[in-house]
Amino acid sequence: MIAKSQNARKSSRYREIATEIQREIRLGTYAVGDMLPIETELMAHFSASRQTVREALRLVSEQGLIVRRAGFGSVVIAAEPPVLFTHSVKSLTEWLRYSNETYREVVRSGDVTADRKLAAILKCELGKNWFLIEAMRRSDEFAAPLGWTEIYVLRKFAGVLERRDHGRTPVHEQIAKMFGQTIEYAQLEIFARAMPARLAKSLQVKAGSPALTMVRRYYGQKDELFEVTVTTHPEGRYTYSMDMQRSLRPRI
C-alpha cells in the first residue's frame, strides 16, 4: 500500500511540474525561441529527480510547446498548444451539446440573482434567481482546459449536480430525465471577446487575451427559459466545424 502511494505521488509530481512549465511559457516567462533551463537546474528548482523532470518535459513536448534536442536542451516553439479539439457538427442537436469526448469538471456552485449585466447575457428578467454551476471543460485531465462553463438552471433543477453522469451528460438532457422538462426551442449565440480577468488564471492565459464565448439558451413550455450555458474558450483551444449542404428543390 505504501509503495502504491509513493508511485502515485511520483506520477502526480511530474504532471505538476509539466503544468507549471506550461504556465510559465503561456505567461511569457519563456518566450518562443528561448531555451528552458537545463535538466539539472530544473531538478534543483523543483526539488525533483532527473527522471521526474524528464517525464515533465516529455509532457510539455507532447503539448507542442517545446522541442527537445539531445545535447542541446529544450527550445520553446509555441506559447500555446495547437488547437486541442475540433468539434464537427452536422445537425442542430450537435450544436446544442458538446462532444462526448469532452467532460465538465465542476469547480463550484451556488445561488445567484441576475443583475443588469447578467440579465443582458442570459436574456432574462432583472432579479431572476438561478442556480449556477461553474465547471472547467476538458478533453484530458492533464491537458490545458478547453474552456470555462457557467451553467444557469432554475433552482428547482439544482438536483442535476448530484447525478453520477453530471460531468459527462449535457445538463438539459439530465433535466429532461429527472424532471420531464423538454426543450421547445433553443438559441445559440457566438461572439468574440477579451478573456475576463476572473477566468484567465484558471484557463492558464492572460487577462484580455482573445476568447470565444458561446451562449446556449434552452426554453420549455410557455417560453420559459430554464437553462442557459455560457462557455468561454481561450484562443486556439476549441474549434467548431459545421457541414452544410445546399438543398435542391424539385422543379414544378
pLDDT under 50 in the chain at which residues?
Answer: 1-5, 85-89
From 220, 221, 196, 223, select the one nearest 208 (Cα to Cα).
196
Cell readout for 58 is: 516529455
**Size of the chain, expressed as the number of residues it contains:** 252
Helices 50-62 and 39-46, packing angle to 10 deg: 110
Which residue ranges make up each domain of the chain?
2-76, 85-242
Q: Which residues contact 167 (CB under 8 A, 6 or more apart)?
A: 103, 104, 105, 106, 135
Using an 8 Å Cβ cutoff, are 136 and 108 in contact? no
Residue 166: exposure state from Cβ atoms within 10 A (0-12, 13-18, ≥19): middle
Matching CATH number, 85-242, of 3.40.1410.10, 3.40.50.720, 3.40.640.10, 3.90.550.10? 3.40.1410.10
**Which helix (H) or strand (E) covers residue 103, if one does?**
strand 103-113
Residue type, 3: A
Cell readout for 95 is: 450544436
**Rama region for 19: left / alpha / beta (φ>0; ψ in -120 to 50; rest):** alpha
- pLDDT value, residue 70: 72
2-76 sits in which CATH class? mainly alpha
Using an 8 Å Cβ cutoff, are 113 and 127 in contact? yes
- pLDDT value, residue 111: 97
- pLDDT value, residue 3: 43
**Which helix (H) or strand (E) covers residue 69, if one does?**
strand 66-69
Q: Which ranges of 80-151 does DSSP label H, i.e. alpha helix? A: 92-95, 116-122
Question: Considering the entire predicted model, what is its pTM?
Answer: 0.63
Residue type, 121: I
CB atoms within 10 A of CB 134: 17
